[in-house]
Structure 1
Amino acid sequence: MFVKTEGTPSSFKDFTLIMPAISVGNVGQLAVDLIISTLNMCRVGYIHTDCLIPMVGNNPYATSAEDANELHTNAEVYAAPELNLAVLQIRTPVIQTKSKKFRKLIVCWIKASGFSKTVVLSSSHAYQRDDQQLLGTPLRYLATPALQEVMKSVKELEWREMERVSASMGVPDSEQLLYIPGGGPTKGLFTDSCAEDIPLAVLLIFCSEGDNVPDAFSLLNYLNDWLHLVDKPSQSSPKWTIPPSWRLLFGSGIPPALF
Structure 2
Amino acid sequence: MNTFVPSPGFDASRFKGTTLILPSVSIGNVPQLATDLLLTTLKLDRVGCIEDENVIPVLGPADRPHDATASPQSSSSLSTGGLSLAVEVFQSKDGKWTIIQQRSPTVRHRSHHYADNLLQFIRESEFDQVVLLASADGARRIDTQLRSGTPVRYILSPAVPTTLIETLKGLGLEPLESVPTTADQRREDLMRLQEHHSTPTLRLSDNVEGMELDNVTTTNQPLEKVPRIPSGGIARRLHSLCQEQGIAILTVVKFAMEGDNAPDAIFLANVLNAIFKVYVPTQQQTLDGEGWKMPKSWDSLYGNSYHQDMYQ
Q: TM-score, normalised by structure 2?
A: 0.74
Deviation at 1:70, TM superposition (A): 1.4
2:25 pairs with one of 17, 22, 25: 22
Contact 1:166 1:176 in 2 (8 A): no
Matched, 1:96 2:96: no
Gaps of 5+ in 1: 170-174, 255-259
Deviation at 1:245, TM superposition (A): 1.4
Residue deviations 1:63-98, cap 9 Å, x none?
77999x712211000110315111000001111221
Matches within 5 A, 1:8-157: 8-11=10-13, 12-62=15-65, 70-135=82-147, 136-147=149-160, 149-154=162-167, 155-157=169-171
SS at match of 1:17: strand
| Paired residue type of 1:124 | A
Deviation at 1:252, TM superposition (A): 5.2
Equivalent residue number for residue 162 of structure 1: 176
C-alpha distance in 1 between matches for 2:291 and 2:232:
27
Deviation at 1:3, TM superposition (A): 0.7
Residue deviations 1:117-139, cap 9 Å, x none?
11111100001011111122111
Aligned residues: 249
C-alpha distance in 2 between matches for 1:153 and 1:104:
30
Percentage identity across paired residues of the two chains: 33
C-alpha distance in 2 between matches for 1:33 and 1:85:
14
Deviation at 1:159, TM superposition (A): 1.1
C-alpha distance in 2 between matches for 1:75 and 1:190:
19
Matched, 1:196 2:245: yes
Structure with max Cα Rg = 2
Residue deviations 1:133-174, cap 9 Å, x none?
1122111111111115343231211210001112359xxxxx
C-alpha distance in 2 between matches for 1:106 and 1:149:
25
Equivalent residue number for residue 257 of structure 1: none
Q: TM-score, normalised by structure 1?
A: 0.88
Matched, 1:212 2:261: yes
SS at match of 1:147: coil
Equivalent residue number for residue 245 of structure 1: 297
Contact 2:139 2:257 in 1 (8 A): yes
| Paired residue type of 2:92 | A
**CA RMSD of the aligned region, Å?**
2.7
Compare 160-169 and 192-201 and name the one that shifted more: 160-169
C-alpha distance in 1 between matches for 2:280 and 2:39:
15
C-alpha distance in 1 between matches for 2:122 and 2:300:
32
Contact 2:22 2:99 in 1 (8 A): yes
Compare 153-162 and 49-58 and name the one that shifted more: 153-162
SS at match of 1:36: helix
